[in-house]
Amino acid sequence: MVWTVRAVFALSRALGPARASATGGWLLRKLGPLTPQQRIARDNLRAAFPDRSDAERAAILDEAWDSLGRTAGEYAHLATLFDYDADNPDPGGRVEVSGTEYFEALRDDGKPGIIFSAHLANWELPAICAQRYGLEATAVFRPPNDPAVAAMIHEIRSGTMGGLAASMRGSAFSMHGVLENGGHLGMLIDQHFTRGVVIDFLGRPAMANPVMAKFARRFECPVHGVRVIRLPGHRFRLGR
Region of residue 121 (phi > 0: left; psi between -120 and 50: alpha; otherwise: beta)? left
Over residues 104-114, mean pLDDT:
89
Alpha-carbon distance of 227 to 143, in angstroms, equals 21
Q: Tell me what pLDDT residue 180 has.
A: 93
Alpha-carbon distance of 168 to 175, in angstroms, equals 11
220 and 150 in one domain?
Answer: yes
pLDDT in tens, 141-186: 877 777 878 788 878 888 788 788 777 676 778 888 899 999 999 9
Q: Round the CA-based radius of gyration of the chain to a whole number and report it.
A: 18
Q: Which helix (H) or strand (E) holds 214?
A: helix 211-219
Which of 77, 97, 121 lies at the terminal end of a domain, its last residue? 77
180 and 120 in one domain?
Answer: yes
Alpha-carbon distance of 212 to 209, in angstroms, equals 7
Which of 42, 57, 77 lies at the terminal end of a domain, its last residue? 77
Q: Tell me what pLDDT residue 170 has.
A: 67
180 and 94 in one domain?
Answer: yes
- For 46, the domain range is 2-77
For residue 74, count CB atoms less than 10 angstroms from its CB and return exposed for 0-12, middle for 13-18, buried for 19 or more: buried
pTM value? 0.88
Q: Output DSSP code: residue 29.
A: H
**Residue 61 pLDDT more than 70?**
yes
13 and 112 in one domain?
Answer: no
Which of 77, 111, 139 lies at the terminal end of a domain, its last residue? 77
Residue type, 19: R
Q: Which helix (H) or strand (E) holds 79?
A: helix 78-81
